[in-house]
Amino acid sequence: MESRWVSADSLRAGFASAMSAMYQQEVPQYGTLLKLVSQVNAEVLAQNPALKQQLERDNELSRLSVERHGAIRVGTAAELAMLRQVFAIMGMYPVGYYDLSQAGVPVHSTAFRPLDDDALNANPFRLFTSLLRLELIDDPSLQQQAAEILAARDIFTPRCRELVSLHQQQGGLTEQQAEEFIPQVLETFRWHQQTTVDQGTYQALLDQHRLIADVVCFPGCHINHLTPRTLDIDRVQALMPDAGITPKAIIEGPPRREVPILLRQTSFKALDEAVRFRDAQQGTHTARFGEIEQRGIALTAKGRELYDRLLQESETGTDNRVHQQKLGDIFQAFPDDAKTLRVQQLAWFTFRLSEKGRALPEQIAAQQNIETLLDAGLISATPMIYEDFLPVSAAGIFQSNLGSETKARSQGHSSKAEFEKALGAAVQDEIALYAQRQKASLARCGVTQMR
């Protein structure tokens, strides 16, 4: 029977596209970046028919053009907990814990994203969501003042709150309610020129940390960037200046590889935007920027350890070409072919039955060895895309948009338990999610015990 409720996948797709339309209006450079990315993606697909075929076969091509992530920052536990309920309606759940305080950014974060294969293929939209850690403001009276300013605002519209309650009572939203829900949710992420504070307060918070002013001084939690997914980040980075966009110096994350791993990212610098203070003073605020990403295969815990170790060995340079060269040399130690990644259990794959495999289930039942089954053409394997974020890269992105005056805050300590308390729920472990999906894909092929 067809449900009378609009599906979470369709709500998420509607929300992602509404966010993109709003951000294109607010930050025209984002629209330019989107065009550049889709042009480069089309070129890559035209030059690489095998890749195109693989993406088509795995249902991944359709998600590429709608694929993006965004980032927001909230000020209080109550805001974060309410966001969790809003995002759950759209099939986005908190995955992973990121502690940015080590890198001098007074926040900790999670990513709200879809969890299973079908939802990810339908629309993988994710939001990197950070909670400000007011306890890291070292002036107690300013800390108190910031808490009061935050307590006085409601970043959700009354109708948004009503529709969330309605969803909880009914178990879903009708078509008509869904049409209302998306624009209501959008209001939370809209940019406001008008701040909630006078210029003096803004300046005092800014002097503590740029990010604190960004979170505390506005009536909502404006989306600070949206990030399309490219198939060739080096090429987009190289073409950005021609399109009138200045990229950040370094592409974050792993180097270019045959089998791309995890996530590579670059961004353009935050814009200076006009704002009005409560005391009618005019000023500017820098927070919103653009970013692109290239996603590769998700790594197992073992693969991730190797990645983290190699990344630590390489220090960050200021010249991208030199940096990528050095990174490439160091990452020679990371196997770069699908078979080794599988056999050494460094990365996750999705397995599928081939025509032949479908005709010969008894051979699979008897065999149960992945490499043998692959060699015999009974099953196929494709890289499972990394759906999450990288704390070191995220810190680099934050910092490039905060200016060089960022102070390191050594007093910051990782506090997943505090974050989960604020969120009102546990965050899911990303590695466990990839493991489950790989196991389920093998089970669908009839491989239940690995040999």
DSSP state letter for 194: B
Contact window for ligand OOG (CB under 6 A) among 45-53, 83-91, 297-305, 391-399: 391-399
Using CB under 6 A as the binding rule, whether residue 95 contacts ligand OOG is answered as: no
CB nearer to ligand OOG: give 349 or 398.
398
Question: What is the nearest approach in angstroms of ligand OOG to the Cβ of residue 398?
Answer: 5
Considering only residues 393, 400, 406, 438, which one is a binding residue for ligand OOG as defined by CB under 6 A? 393
Picking from 272, 268, 304, the residue whose alpha carbon sits closest to that of residue 397 is 268
Q: Taking CB under 6 A as the rule, does residue 398 contact ligand OOG?
A: yes
Binding mask 245-284 for ligand OOG (x = CB under 6 A): --------------------x-------------------
C-beta closer to ligand OOG: residue 268 or 389? 389
**C-alpha of 69 from chain center:** 5
Rounded to whole angstroms, how far apart are CA atoms 405 and 424?
A: 34
Could you give the CA distance from residue 148 to residue 134 in angstroms, rounded to a whole number?
11
Q: Nearest-5° angle of CA 133, CA 137, CA 141?
A: 120
Q: What is the DSSP letter of 287?
A: -
Nearest to 154 by CA among 120, 124, 191, 187: 187
Decide: is 230 part of the binding site for ligand OOG (CB under 6 A): no
Which residue has tokens 């680099």? 396
The residues with which 111 forms a beta bridge, in sequence order, are 95, 128
Near ligand OOG by CB under 6 A, which window of 176-184, 276-284, 378-386, 393-401?
393-401
Total residues contacting ligand OOG by CB under 6 A comes to 12
Pick out residues in 324-383 that bind ligand OOG (CB under 6 A). Answer: none
Q: Which stretch binds Ni ion (CB under 5 A): 10-18, 64-72, 353-361, 429-437?
A: 64-72
Question: Taking CB under 6 A as the rule, does residue 434 contact ligand OOG?
Answer: no
Percentages helix, strand, coil for the chain, rounded to the nearest 5? 50, 15, 35
With H, G, I as helix, E, B as strand and everything else as coil, classify residue 263: strand
CB of 409 within 8 A of CB of 104? yes
- Closer of 122 and 292 to Ni ion (Cβ): 292
Which residues bind to Ni ion, rule: CB under 5 A?
Answer: 71, 227, 291
Which residues bind to ligand OOG, rule: CB under 6 A?
Answer: 71, 73, 128, 130, 224, 265, 291, 389, 393-394, 397-398
